């Protein structure tokens, strides 16, 4: 593969009208167009901060071989199709997960879904939420490259762009052959809401979208979702669970319910920039991102998931069953990286760069997550365990990438 150097990154950023020398914003603009320009400046700053930091690279990651992850809309049609072809390739390879553990895992793609299902309550509202998903995403990217011949990098979905354009007009969701497939077929959901909450927390009522049924266009129109559901939220205050368990075989179509109101309310450009600028420690950062329980706010993380909606998008366990999951979490990683590089000494290397415990909202009570906490993605990865300390920088440990 022809990799992109830091100098090439500079050209990319210049073309986006952002410079590392632009003054950094102090707070998020309430005008979403202005906030989108602020985000460009912040991402530009993060990339150059990586280059100039005193500990910028590992022994194997150098300025000459660092890779650049890009927003979906900036990819050429050929690059987009190369990516979706690689995902389809992974879906046509045999699973590595043993049938005795995950009988529903029928493809190599399903290995990632099964791993996420298995670990969900140990990787959300935890101290390892950000690091675990960074590694999970990177291993997925490596599988696309090493097992399916993909020569690009993992793209991301900038939620702020689709919030401004409308989801169905976004290159990510327009249903064309160069998209990640589009909306699901329209189902009448009049007077229904998506209801979150329970377990003693106030309920959150979210709007439904304009689809809800099986997707019918784009590269994934014939895709089969094999695993789950485990906790699928269905409009009408219904939670669907596979009767044989979430790791059992339960083939069905991929459904979506694109919901502009959720995208524009929770994952607009102002919300993104505010999540980068307001929190001063990683605990507040990741809680704002995931949504503080009881506040009625689902954060930019929840905003992305529930904006794509339906099955498996609304299921916190099975959500990687929608290929757009990986574009969503690449954006999550971009936001974390950008926040880290505002103060790398403390936010990558400091004693408080990791905060939280190893269980969902510390239920049941568990040990604090530390740099020594191990990360394993089981059959999805290459069989290597890493630690949280290994995944704190995108140009150290196993990684060698930046964002543009």
pLDDT tens for each residue of 13-68: 444 445 556 899 999 999 999 999 999 999 999 998 887 765 666 778 988 899 99
Collapsing DSSP to helix, strand or coil, 33 comes out as helix
Neighbour tally for 240: CB within 10 Å = 15
> What average pLDDT does the chain have?
93
Strand 252-253 relative to strand 224-225: parallel, antiparallel, unpaired? antiparallel
Residue 377 β-bridge partners: none
Count CA atoms within 13 Å of residue 56 on its CB side: 16
| Confidence at residue 201, expressed as pLDDT on a 0 to 100 scale | 77
| Confidence at residue 6, expressed as pLDDT on a 0 to 100 scale | 39
| Confidence at residue 16, expressed as pLDDT on a 0 to 100 scale | 43
The whole-angstrom separation of Cα 302 and Cα 329 is 11
% of residues, the chain, pLDDT over 70:
93
The whole-angstrom separation of Cα 69 and Cα 215 is 27
Which fold, 76-394? di-copper center containing domain from catechol oxidase (1.10.1280)
Residue 362 near residue 124 (C-beta atoms within 8 A)? no
Please state, in angstroms and as integers, the Cα–Cα distance from residue 322 to each residue in 40, 87, 205, 220, following that order: 27, 11, 23, 9
Residue 160 near residue 263 (C-beta atoms within 8 A)? no
Alpha helix segments (H runs only) across 291-324: 299-308, 310-313
Rounded to an integer, what is the distance from CA 369 to the centroid of its chain?
21
Over range 258-265, report the average pLDDT. 99
Total-model pTM: 0.94
| Confidence at residue 21, expressed as pLDDT on a 0 to 100 scale | 67
pLDDT score of 1 more than 50: no
Residue 147 near residue 93 (C-beta atoms within 8 A)? yes
Strand 67-69 relative to strand 401-403: parallel, antiparallel, unpaired? parallel
The whole-angstrom separation of Cα 217 and Cα 34 is 33
Strand 193-198 relative to strand 224-225: parallel, antiparallel, unpaired? unpaired
Contacts of 135 (CB under 8 A, 6+ apart): 375, 377, 381, 386, 391, 398
The whole-angstrom separation of Cα 189 and Cα 134 is 35
The whole-angstrom separation of Cα 226 and Cα 37 is 40
């Amino acid at each position: 593969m022809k990799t992109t150097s830091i100098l090439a990154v500079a050209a990319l950023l210049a073309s986006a009208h952002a410079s590392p020398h632009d003054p950094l914003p102090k707070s998020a603009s309430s005008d979403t167009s202005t906030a989108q320009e602020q985000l460009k400046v912040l991402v530009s700053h993060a990339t150059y901060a990586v280059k100039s930091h005193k500990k910028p690279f590992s022994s194997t990651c150098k300025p000459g071989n660092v890779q650049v992850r890009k927003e979906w809309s900036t990819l050429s049609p050929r690059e987009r199709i190369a990516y979706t072809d690689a995902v389809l390739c992974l879906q046509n390879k045999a699973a590595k997960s043993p049938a005795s553990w995950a009988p529903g895992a029928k493809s190599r793609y399903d290995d990632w879904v099964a791993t996420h299902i298995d670990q969900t309550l140990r990787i959300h509202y935890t101290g390892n939420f950000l690091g675990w998903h960074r590694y999970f995403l990177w291993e997925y990217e490596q599988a696309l490259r090493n097992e399916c011949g993909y020569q690009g990098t993992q793209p991301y979905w900038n939620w702020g762009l689709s919030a401004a354009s409308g989801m169905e007009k976004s290159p990510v969701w327009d249903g064309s052959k160069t998209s990640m497939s589009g909306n699901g077929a329209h189902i009448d959901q009049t007077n229904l809401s998506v209801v979150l909450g329970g377990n003693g927390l106030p309920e959150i009522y979210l709007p439904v979208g304009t689809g809800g049924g099986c997707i019918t266009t784009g590269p994934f129109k014939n895709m089969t979702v094999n695993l789950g559901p485990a906790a699928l939220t269905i409009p009408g205050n219904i939670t669907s669970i596979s009767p044989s368990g979430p790791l059992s075989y339960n083939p069905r179509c991929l459904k979506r319910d694109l919901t502009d109101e959720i995208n524009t309310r929770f994952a607009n450009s102002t919300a993104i920039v505010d999540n980068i600028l307001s929190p001063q420690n990683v605990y507040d950062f990741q809680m704002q991102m995931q949504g503080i329980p009881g506040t009625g706010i689902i954060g930019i993380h929840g905003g992305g998931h529930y904006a794509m909606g339906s099955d498996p998008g609304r299921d916190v366990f099975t959500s990687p069953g929608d290929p757009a999951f990986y574009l969503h979490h690449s954006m999550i990683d971009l936001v974390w990286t950008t926040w880290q590089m505002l103060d790398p000494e403390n936010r990558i290397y400091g004693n408080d760069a990791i905060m939280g415990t190893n269980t969902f909202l510390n239920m049941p009570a568990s040990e604090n997550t530390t740099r020594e906490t191990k990360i394993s993605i089981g059959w999805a990865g290459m069989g290597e365990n890493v630690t949280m300390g290994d995944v704190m920088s995108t140009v150290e440990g196993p990684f060698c990438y930046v964002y543009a």
